Structure 1
Amino acid sequence: MKARRRPGPPRVCVIRQGFYPLDPRVGREVLAMEGAGYEVDVICLRRPDEERTERIGSVCVHRVSIASRGSGRARYLFEYAGFMLASAFLAARLHLKRRFDLVQVNSMPDTLVFAAIVPKLLGARVLLDLHECMPEFYAVKYGVGMRHPAVRLVGWLEQAAIRFADAAITCTDQMREAFESRGAAVSRIGVVMNSANEDVFDPDGQSASSSADGEFRLICHGSIEQRYGIDTIVRAVARLRDRIPGLRLAIYGEGSALDEVRALISSLQVEDRVYVSGGFVPMRELLRAMVEADAGVVAVRRDIFRDLTHCNKMFDFITMRKPAIVSRTRSVEAYFDDSCFEMFTSGDDADLARAIDELYRNPDLRVRLVREALRANEPYRWPHQRALYLGIVDRLAVTRTGDPAAATRAAGA
């Protein structure tokens, strides 16, 4: 259906099977659109303590409750299908009232993009933000090869989702190459990296208490899942109990591996050295903890999935000017070399212990790592990535609106 131009700022609906504003990538994108004058609605999951409809700034958030049923693959299928149907209905209803110019759908799952079917048929453009590579994700999660029939089906659905959208974006060049290797057109997918929002992660805007004599503080934050290697960090801390008596680790976040991490801490008898928040904390508290830390740790497990992606926390540490200890993956080493991070072999707690000890005993190294990481990260900073993102959004939305600011950004992108 041909789009009808209308005056005023573009109207966008963002759909994400996650929590807003907790999801960092969605949060950055929505704030970017809000700051550019867009009218934004967000459809997302609802936590028990959240309102079904809430206005955050000028953004209207619509939350959907999906009950968990069954376990394993059946549970994923139920939750994916339930949210897709609920969000498709809600997006259609909102579109009839608001007439969106653009619907942005953030995976996973890739098939969630079909929740935009009614707005698309009525003239809205569709942007698919591919947070993950689902075939690699499922191959790793279920321990099967990339040629497994179920993984090949997921790959076919991925490509169908990309073709359905008017354009797509993803997080790294390695992810884009994976999508293109399965048939996606080179011109259809842009890269907008997972940079930290510098308006939030501002080291100069935080106060911190001084460390106790001899203390060396490490921090890790975000989702507590097996793939993020939190157990490797705990084991490394246990290895160093005698060599660095003042070593302390703070873990902030929540996830399915939380109970396993707590049990490991108990079994290794490092309760006095490792703090676990047990849930997500207010941003002010997390930022204060990051300022007080001596170094951050990113310990993702290396596999065919994580060789394509980046962790948000890596960019958070760079922006907060903290030296980072990072596990080696192909995607990390494609953007940053050994001068930027103290690298270690993924899953190797002995090598991680070596890296921690190296930073502890070498303050000059910590200063150099921060300086070099900031230098290498300059083109990936959010002000630059935000401009790329808004250029893509504007090119899609400007055809339906007479907004001159959006037209100017689209022309200059």
Structure 2
Amino acid sequence: MTRVAMIVFSYYPNDTRVRREAEALAQAGISVDVLCLIYPGEPKNEKINGVNVHRIKIEKKTRPGKAHHIWQYSYFILASFFKLSALHLKKKFDFVHVHNLPDILVLSALVPRIRILKLFEKFSIKLCEHVIVATPFLKETVVKRSAQEDKVTTILNLPDIRYFENFKTEIRKRPDPFNLIYPGTFSKIHGVDIAIHAVKKAIAASQINIHLHLYGLGEEEENLHLLVEKLHLQQHVFFHQMVQIDELAEILTTMDIGLVPKHDGIFIGEAISTKMFDYAAVGLPIICSKTSGDSLYFDETMVQFFEPGNSDQLAESIIKLYHNYELRKKYSENATKLIRKMNWQTVQRELIDIFTI
């Protein structure tokens, strides 16, 4: 039996990307062990859908500074090294899949020249037998800078339709309240503050009873709470703990609009939001900032786009879709058609082949 270890500086099974990949391999008869962070209340070790989960306890501050980020990663790397070594003595892993650590980007400010990061990338890729990236943009960049094309595979982070097939959003006329949702990371680049400002402006301009539901956590959580208080939106913006994908699917059906308010820029602009595909999987109409990544597969017939960082345009989009039931219905139907062609079931074979050929 092929044995795979996965290492991720994130929570499992809440990290849906890692969960999809781990479960796909387990379902293919591959032994999978995941080393990850421990979330309050979770057991240190457990088996979830055939995947062995080993959690590492580490202090994660709500608003960590760069020094604390360095300490977190250093501790996690050291702890996961010893844990993986101990597991390897028992299981003899054939592959170790190290998932990317997106938060490491905050450390780039400590590096005076970007070429140092490029050298680090080349060194890391040289140590790997294969590189998995999440978008065609990343593959193009990695091949251009650091690797041969046949060493890099794009595996899109698409929705696993098993979790969504029994759920469908009802498109409501003049809903009260008008429910918006953002499930994900609370960070500056994800633009949750833009969404909060837009809600304030939309309410002031239209008197629509808007409710914004925020599911997740992140370094900006405290600032977002303060912003809500400053704008007197306590009756319109609600914070919830992060939930697993099978819970999220049902929650999405109670909403009217799914938001993707992220900023544009290097990396985040070319990233493809998983949320868009999750929204589309249940037929939830989408309002999204127009970046190169999120307009690669979705177009104006499926999504209401707005200029990244522009809370005025986002507010206008919210009001527009509230008053236009037919447009929301159109977006829902067209995006759902895309998911029938693009879902996890259509790409998981490529992942399995990497670990079995």
Q: TM-score, normalised by structure 2?
A: 0.91
Letter in 2 for 1:83: F
Alignment match, 2:334: 372
Alignment match, 2:154: 191
In the TM superposition, what are the counterparts of 1:2-401 in structure 2 within 5 Å?
A: 9-67=1-59, 72-108=65-101, 132=102, 137-138=105-106, 142=109, 149-202=112-165, 204-205=166-167, 214-242=176-204, 243-277=206-240, 279-281=241-243, 283=245, 285-395=247-357
CA contact (8 A) 1:133 1:175 kept: no
Letter in 2 for 1:286: L
3-state DSSP class of the match of 2:7? strand
* Post-superposition offset of 1:247: 1.9
CA contact (8 A) 2:263 2:309 kept: yes
Q: Would the alpha carbon gap of residues 38 and 183 (structure 1) be closer, same or farther in structure 2, given more than 3 Å must change?
A: closer
CA contact (8 A) 2:183 2:275 kept: yes
* Post-superposition offset of 1:150: 4.3
For 2:337 and 2:244, the matched residues in 1 are separated by: 30
CA contact (8 A) 1:43 1:87 kept: yes
Q: Deviations over 1:172-205 (max 9, x none)?
A: 0111122223232222111011111211233x34
3-state DSSP class of the match of 1:334? coil
CA contact (8 A) 1:324 1:342 kept: yes
RMSD across aligned positions (CA): 2.6
Q: Would the alpha carbon gap of residues 259 and 197 (structure 1) be closer, same or farther in structure 2, given more than 3 Å must change?
A: same
For 1:304 and 1:51, the matched residues in 2 are separated by: 37
Q: Would the alpha carbon gap of residues 230 and 86 (structure 1) be closer, same or farther in structure 2, given more than 3 Å must change?
A: same
Q: Would the alpha carbon gap of residues 239 and 133 (structure 1) be closer, same or farther in structure 2, given more than 3 Å must change?
A: closer
CA contact (8 A) 1:193 1:380 kept: no
For 1:211 and 1:335, the matched residues in 2 are separated by: 28
Q: Deviations over 1:306-365 (max 9, x none)?
A: 122112211110111111001011112222221121000011010001111121111111
Q: Would the alpha carbon gap of residues 282 and 66 (structure 1) be closer, same or farther in structure 2, given more than 3 Å must change?
A: closer
Segment of structure 1 superposing worse, 74-83 or 281-290: 281-290
3-state DSSP class of the match of 2:142? helix
For 2:132 and 2:244, the matched residues in 1 are separated by: 29
For 1:244 and 1:287, the matched residues in 2 are separated by: 29
- Please say which structure displays the higher CA radius of gyration: 1
* Post-superposition offset of 1:164: 0.8
For 1:182 and 1:381, the matched residues in 2 are separated by: 29
For 2:187 and 2:64, the matched residues in 1 are separated by: 17
3-state DSSP class of the match of 1:325? strand
Q: How many residues align?
A: 355
Q: Would the alpha carbon gap of residues 177 and 284 (structure 1) be closer, same or farther in structure 2, given more than 3 Å must change?
A: closer
Identical amino acids, percent of aligned pairs: 29
Specify every segment of 5 or more residues in structure 2 that has no aligned partner in the other structure, as ranges: none
